Structure 1
Amino acid sequence: MTTEPLSFPRQHARTQRFSLGAPRAFTVAPDGKRVVFLRSRSGTDRASLLWVADPATGEERVAADPPALLRGAPERLSAAERARRERSREGGAGIVGYATDTAVELAAFALSGRLFAAELLDGTARELPIQGPVIDPRPSPDGRHIAYVAGGALHAVALVGGQEGPDGAGDDRAPRVWGTGTTLAEPETETVTYGLAEFIAAEEMHRYRGFWWSPDSRRLLVARADDAKVRRWWIADPAHPDREPSRVAYPSAGTPNAEVRLFVLGLDGSRVEVDWDRKRYPYLARVHWSSAGAPLLLVQARDQRGQLHLAVDPDDGSTRMVHADDSEQWLELFTGVPCWSPSGRLVRIADEGGARVLAVGDRPLTGHQVQVRAVLDVSDDDVLISASAGEGAGDPETGEVHVYRVNELGMERLSQEPGVHSAVRSGGVTVLMSSVPGEPGAQVRVLRDGKQVATVDSCAERPGFSPRVTLTEGGTRRIPCAVLLPSAYAEGDGPLPVLLDPYGGPHGQRVVAAHNAHLTSQWFADQGFAVVVADGRGTPGRSPAWEKAVRHDFTITLDDQVDALQDLAGRFPLDLSRVGIRGWSYGGYLAALAVLRRPDVFHAGVAGAPVTDWRLYDTHYTERYLGDPAATDETYTASSLVDDDGLVAPAEPHRPLMIVHGLADDNVVAAHTLRLSSALLAAGRPHEVLPLSGVTHMTPQEQVAENLLLLQVDFLKRSLGAGA
């Protein structure tokens, strides 16, 4: 019996965009003898296992297997854990995150709210008898304690026997024996948590942690968040009217944030509060504590135009300023910084002289040739960074991101193939992850002293086709673009209806030199469209000025879509009389903005989870770009689709618009779509609304994700008169 192959929408949904089965979350041991990572057993298995690979032999073994540890029982997640995964856009199951001690010999992780520890040398894992539900367990650097959060309180469980005795002697192969948990900090009220990132930190600052161990394993820096002043919103499930709505603390633009304080907590019961000017710098954006220096904080002003790097005295909680930054627009946050170099110099990423540079101490080590994006590792000899070509680098490498070694003598590129690359490094071993245009998925190579010694296999499924993509530039501003034509299109076949498929806003780069990033766009192209993806001003990877051009005006992102489209029409078979646009989140906002403000260009739009009134979006994101709504109300109105009076600046003629929204979305809440629909109805503008019951901002459900693609194609064909 033969089995019909899955359609692309079904395969795309079932494999979670072909991400299942791909190795991720790498950690390299400081002795270079172990590489730890997560990977599920197949491209359709959502449950990730913890693996250990030997760089010397390439051998891989399982260190922790969730089904075995749970003895076949289904996973059950607490509401706090579901919210944490929504913030980090984690759609997987099983072991979705882990933390290790410094030697990378012990790993801790949570399953179904239960605490587990894995011995990475011998590959054994077992549950610790701890009252949960447990969130974010992290071993101390010496491996003698595991700290974790349960019920908003911070706890720690201690090693009481096994590998080490009181004098440090013992059998290092013997199983560890753990005690019961002790409470280090307990919430004083129901609005307080210890050790967790508050909503705004996790959603917008990409700070997903709330506690950090000291290098000597005797103390922790612990964030205390109190959201008592944050306004409460209610998210109901209309499909189940018998269920109570969820009550969430959502800090919308111009309203109070959670109050965040920081404490040094000792395992001996000591407690010292860290002191800084929290009124002027309320955002705790980054925390770093290593043996190279004092605890290091990055705190930001609410308008994000000023920030301080502070060194903490953990004995009395006092702080001293190490460095200060200010900007007329805003200050961006980056992965991996700030931190200390092994020699005790401050490592940071800064916007200087029109470029985004790596600075060590007082000296910038890069210039206009690259746009630094993240610090990956810092050693005595160099700093490992990821970067894209800067505007001063000559012809840009459209969509490429590379890994570089940087020191005071210069810069060396480690990744050679065109593509998107990142890396993890320790102990002379580098794990290089590469996504390239010609190969599905990501290739993972293990390097020692720059030479490949092993690979890490992927179990991800392979799609049944490869994108037919041209990476180019469009318009006078040389906007990065990707153009995709139907696989069967031949020169001379004539112009095609056009589908713009952007994200098009801050922190969302879509034009990348990678294979899988363009699969959905190619599938739309194969339905009979010429698909255009454009990364206009506001998107990352080009220059600080490019990103910050959206200050006080999001509508210029639509101008760039139009400029790119009209320029590309002179080089590609684009029928400008039939132009559609689709997008999700910021891309959904852009799609709705396009059909409402520029119906002379766009003839149909699909807006998924769109922000329609920027006053309803969160503080840290929205105020960064549009300012305080109390002071810049006109800016909010100009960039929004609706306000209290209805539609904002709609143009004629009417164009077909489909709006899609998950009713369980706690990031862009469904009120955005409901208010837009009401305003459209009041204005006599026909439109379609597709409410998704039980769906969040991620749309992870297989049937929902599959049918969303099919319904969008049907709508676009109907609206544009496009054939297959």
Structure 2
Amino acid sequence: MELAAFPRQFARTRRFSLGVPQRFTVSPDGERVLFTRSVSGTDARILLWVYENGAERLLAGGDGDRAGAKTGAGAGIGSGSGIGSYATDRHARVAAYTRDGALWTVETVGGDTTPRRLPVPGPVTDPRPSPDGTLIAYVRDGALRVVRDDGTADRALAEPESPDVTYGLPDHTARESIGRTRAFWWSPDGTALLVARVDTSMVRRWHVGDPADPARPPRAVRYPAAGTANAETSLLLITVGGDRTPVALPRTAPEPGGAPAAPGTWRDGAFEYLLRADWDGAAPVVTVQTRDQRTVWVLRVDPSTGAVRPLSRHTDDAWVEFPPGTPLHTGSGTAVLPYIRGDAYGIRIGDVPSPAGLQVRAVLGAVGERVFFTASEEPTETHVWSYTPSATPSAGPSHGPDPRFVRLTDVPGVHTATVGGDNDNGATVVLDSRTPAAHTVTVVRGGEPAGRIAVLTERPLVTPAPVPLVLGARESRGQLHLPSWYEPGAGPLPVLLSPYAGPGMQVVNRAGAWHSVVRQWFAEHGFAVLVVDGRGTPGRGVAWQRAITGDRLTPVLDDQIDALHATAARYDGALDLTRVGIRGWSFSGYLAAGAVLRRPDVFHAAVAGAPVTDRRLYDTYWEERYLGHPDSRPEGYARSSLLPYPSDANGTGTPVRPLLLVHGLLDDNVFPLHTLRLSAALLAAGRPHSVLPLPGTGHLVAREGTADALLLRELAFFREALAAGGRPAAESAAR
């Protein structure tokens, strides 16, 4: 086990993300699969590939691209950063993509598949061919433009009226919080586009600058912090000839039942969020949500007048949650919509609900009337499922009493898929499977494996060996990493908690992801490393996710402490509860800082990276969902803030625990002001602490020379703070 070399490998591979195939597109006939993948597990240049007839073929991405290039390191590859975004026409015969800001196209079939650069000025964003491939729509400088596939007749369809207006680009909330990365959509006949117009003039302007580079001017960012104005998003139908029709989106939703809000309850019925949009047949379908997130309407748009009519309305006393991929309509028009069944986030396909207890994660698509989705029966596993209106024995074994629902994956892990093909020849399913043993991508046609797409990631120098745990009265899922050299009865180890624990993702699963490898690396240096997914994390049901409403910190921290004590009781004598550290980034950085400030009786040291120390200074969509509006519900923000705690503890005899705060100075997700304000409060309260600024770094720390150095700095910090020595030096050298 090469512990010393691991941090460099971790950084060089960008958290083992290089070489992973992604962004799959299945052709309508199911015969071809387009995807992107970097050159290798250590070369970040992104290339566009096609999988066809059991083999991969390079399409585009580097100097010297040529038709028929073979798979392999360096085949057809030259200098350059590779491709950015790509999209295809209806038949996946023409792909448009960006490379270094320029617009390129490539034919995916036929004799001449040489990439062509179209002579339009850059930088180009989000190029998308029309359904027949004869036109390419794209965004430049906030204007939506269209050009012929031969590079002629480049023209603007919509140009911004001011510097604060864009056409065809999502705003910050849509991109970072809602997950909607698109902002224009072609009509099926290619004669018009549905286009989002975003006005950010009312949104607060913040600035991001790097003190390490004072010659570089700060960058202005429109950031909608909790309780402040959001961007205004409207929709237009624009023909390729330039005619415009505004979409008459509703402004506000009526109070549920017509009753006023209860005292102390924040209500805001303005439809400020565009969740989804696309064309369903000849008409667009759009999904909008109110500012308080308690109401969602799915609307069909009349393409000739812009008038809308509701297809469905959804309300909830907490918030309405639409899983990715919904709403969806099958070939016959059957709607696939979210549906809460008992305590499970499920879906309803027409009148048919998903099986009881099944937690639906995402809807993947439909081929004819067959609907594909991902769901969990056990929170640590996610599987691919399908629904067929009439049971088909050849589709696979059903799970549960309803034979129309079939689970397509069986190996424990985290699985997802991209689907396509046609109903007559059967679906083509690209299964993307992460298990403890491997990461594989399998192409399945007609229910049978047809081959694999290569995953080129490097094998980690450290092999994780987590022990799965179910902990405490709430049965929190956890994993414990012990050193491979540790023998039972050898004495207690210092403990290091390494959670995420936020509502955005799980880290306790059977995926064998990079964070599991990092936890094992810390364990090999002499720590018992524990990770726990407590309340608020996805995959455990409605009540579990809503338990953090009104308080983002206390329930999450309580679950970590309960799980820590339960683990120590189970492994009697192995965990030293007088030496407990916690580390984290983003939400878990907030949790780590909160742990040593609120519960220094339990936690003895923390590394807090990019923590949100004041929830009022994070974005509207995430914070108002759980805490409401800060003007009407200030108590939730006060309970969830880290800033009052340093002064509360000053002079009371509460232990002062070592705390290392880390922040990228170019972070425009969690701005550095969070760490700076907490540091100022700690300083004023007389509490020693350390601050590690990362120049030239944003929210994601992946650069070689920074990501590896940060791991080593954390290790040194915890070794000193917790007096962790690990294996004797001579014994380590012998390995």
User: What TM-score results when the alignment is normalised by the length of structure 1?
Assistant: 0.90
Q: Is the 8 A contact 2:62 2:79 kept in 1?
A: no
Q: Cα distance, 1:73 vs. partner?
A: 9.2
Q: Cα distance, 1:294 vs. partner?
A: 2.8
Q: Which amino acid aligns with 1:704?
A: T
Which residue in 2 is equivalent to 1:192?
Answer: 165
1:426 pairs, out of 402, 420, 424, with 420
Which residue in 2 is equivalent to 1:20?
Answer: 18
Q: Which amino acid aligns with 1:575?
A: D
1:321 aligns with 2:338: no
In 1, the alpha carbon distance for the partners of 2:277 and 2:647 equals 43
2:697 pairs, out of 674, 679, 695, with 695
Q: Which amino acid aligns with 2:62?
A: P
Q: Cα distance, 1:353 vs. partner?
A: 2.8
Q: Cα distance, 1:356 vs. partner?
A: 1.1
In 2, the alpha carbon distance for the partners of 1:465 and 1:5 equals 7
How many aligned residue pairs are there? Answer: 673
In 1, the alpha carbon distance for the partners of 2:499 and 2:307 equals 47
For residue 590 of structure 1, give the secondary structure of its aligned residue in structure 2: helix
Q: Is the 8 A contact 2:462 2:521 kept in 1?
A: no
For residue 422 of structure 1, give the secondary structure of its aligned residue in structure 2: strand
Q: How does 1:110-149 map to 2 (within 5 A)?
A: 110-122=98-110, 123-149=113-139
For residue 659 of structure 1, give the secondary structure of its aligned residue in structure 2: strand
- Which aligned segments of 4 or more residues in structure 1 are displaced greater than 4 angstroms? 69-75, 645-651
Which residue in 2 is equivalent to 1:64?
Answer: 60
Which residue in 2 is equivalent to 1:36?
Answer: 34
In 2, the alpha carbon distance for the partners of 1:508 and 1:59 equals 34
1:381 pairs, out of 357, 369, 376, with 369
Structure 1 residues 682 and 256, CA gap change in structure 2 (3 angstroms): same
Structure 1 residues 648 and 327, CA gap change in structure 2 (3 angstroms): farther
Q: Show CA shifts across 1:167-212 (max 9, x none).
A: xxxxxxxxxx342311110000110000000011000000011101
In 1, the alpha carbon distance for the partners of 2:274 and 2:56 equals 39
2:409 pairs, out of 406, 415, 419, with 415
Q: Which amino acid aligns with 1:30?
A: P
Q: How does 1:672-711 map to 2 (within 5 A)?
A: 672-711=674-713
Q: Is the 8 A contact 2:551 2:627 kept in 1?
A: yes
2:278 pairs, out of 281, 288, 310, with 288
In 2, the alpha carbon distance for the partners of 1:335 and 1:418 equals 22
Which residue in 2 is equivalent to 1:233?
Answer: 206
Q: Cα distance, 1:454 vs. partner?
A: 0.6
Q: How does 1:194-593 map to 2 (within 5 A)?
A: 194-279=167-252, 280-291=270-281, 294-361=283-350, 363-389=351-377, 397-408=378-389, 409=391, 410-427=404-421, 428-439=427-438, 442-517=439-514, 518-555=516-553, 556-572=555-571, 573-593=574-594
For residue 98 of structure 1, give the secondary structure of its aligned residue in structure 2: strand
Which residue in 2 is equivalent to 1:81?
Answer: none
In 2, the alpha carbon distance for the partners of 1:454 and 1:688 equals 52
For residue 666 of structure 1, give the secondary structure of its aligned residue in structure 2: coil
Q: Is the 8 A contact 1:466 1:515 kept in 2?
A: no
Q: Cα distance, 1:648 vs. partner?
A: 6.2
For residue 503 of structure 1, give the secondary structure of its aligned residue in structure 2: coil
Q: Show CA shifts across 1:646-665 (max 9, x none).
A: 65678821111000000100
In 2, the alpha carbon distance for the partners of 1:649 and 1:47 equals 50
Where structure 1 has 5 or more consecutive residues not aligned to the other structure, the ranges are 76-92, 160-176, 390-396
Which residue in 2 is equivalent to 1:172?
Answer: none
Structure 1 residues 398 and 527, CA gap change in structure 2 (3 angstroms): farther
Q: Is the 8 A contact 1:355 1:367 kept in 2?
A: no
Q: Which moved more, 1:321-330 or 1:272-281?
A: 272-281
Q: Is the 8 A contact 2:414 2:434 kept in 1?
A: yes
Structure 1 residues 379 and 630, CA gap change in structure 2 (3 angstroms): same
In 2, the alpha carbon distance for the partners of 1:351 and 1:597 equals 35
For residue 412 of structure 1, give the secondary structure of its aligned residue in structure 2: strand
Q: Is the 8 A contact 1:470 1:484 kept in 2?
A: yes
Q: Cα distance, 1:547 vs. partner?
A: 0.8
Which residue in 2 is equivalent to 1:622?
Answer: 623
Q: Which amino acid aligns with 2:37?
A: R
Q: Show CA shifts across 1:552-587 (max 9, x none).
A: 111211111111111111123211111100000000
In 1, the alpha carbon distance for the partners of 2:473 and 2:547 equals 15
Q: Show CA shifts across 1:45-69 (max 9, x none).
A: 1011100111x3x111100032447
Structure 1 residues 686 and 376, CA gap change in structure 2 (3 angstroms): same
Structure 1 residues 5 and 591, CA gap change in structure 2 (3 angstroms): closer
Q: Which amino acid aligns with 1:566?
A: H
Q: Which amino acid aligns with 1:312?
A: V
Which residue in 1 is equivalent to 2:145?
Answer: 155
Q: Is the 8 A contact 2:64 2:78 kept in 1?
A: no
In 2, the alpha carbon distance for the partners of 1:65 and 1:665 equals 29
Where structure 2 has 5 or more consecutive residues not aligned to the other structure, the ranges are 67-75, 253-269, 392-403, 422-426, 727-735
Which residue in 2 is equivalent to 1:181?
Answer: 154
In 1, the alpha carbon distance for the partners of 2:55 and 2:217 equals 51
Q: Cα distance, 1:72 vs. partner?
A: 9.4
Structure 1 residues 449 and 72, CA gap change in structure 2 (3 angstroms): closer
Q: Is the 8 A contact 1:641 1:647 kept in 2?
A: no
Q: Which moved more, 1:6-15 or 1:610-619?
A: 6-15
In 2, the alpha carbon distance for the partners of 1:72 and 1:237 equals 34
User: What TM-score results when the alignment is normalised by the length of structure 2?
Assistant: 0.89
Q: Cα distance, 1:370 vs. partner?
A: 1.2
Structure 1 residues 688 and 74, CA gap change in structure 2 (3 angstroms): farther
In 2, the alpha carbon distance for the partners of 1:74 and 1:15 equals 19
Q: Which moved more, 1:420-429 or 1:585-594?
A: 420-429
Q: Which amino acid aligns with 1:65?
A: G
In 1, the alpha carbon distance for the partners of 2:219 and 2:103 equals 27
In 2, the alpha carbon distance for the partners of 1:473 and 1:307 equals 36
For residue 215 of structure 1, give the secondary structure of its aligned residue in structure 2: coil
Q: Cα distance, 1:131 vs. partner?
A: 1.5
2:667 pairs, out of 660, 665, 668, with 665
In 2, the alpha carbon distance for the partners of 1:638 and 1:315 equals 51
For residue 611 of structure 2, give the secondary structure of its aligned residue in structure 1: coil
Cα RMSD of the aligned pairs, angstroms, is 1.8
1:604 aligns with 2:597: no
Q: Cα distance, 1:398 vs. partner?
A: 4.8
Q: Is the 8 A contact 1:69 1:126 kept in 2?
A: no
Which residue in 1 is equivalent to 2:72?
Answer: none
In 2, the alpha carbon distance for the partners of 1:74 and 1:188 equals 38
Q: Cα distance, 1:233 vs. partner?
A: 0.8
In 2, the alpha carbon distance for the partners of 1:187 and 1:245 equals 23
Q: Which amino acid aligns with 1:495?
A: P
Q: Which amino acid aligns with 2:484?
A: S
Q: Cα distance, 1:141 vs. partner?
A: 1.3
For residue 446 of structure 1, give the secondary structure of its aligned residue in structure 2: strand
Q: Is the 8 A contact 1:198 1:225 kept in 2?
A: yes
Q: Cα distance, 1:5 vs. partner?
A: 9.6
Q: Is the 8 A contact 1:233 1:249 kept in 2?
A: yes
In 2, the alpha carbon distance for the partners of 1:656 and 1:6 equals 25
Q: Cα distance, 1:430 vs. partner?
A: 1.0
Q: Which amino acid aligns with 1:45?
A: D
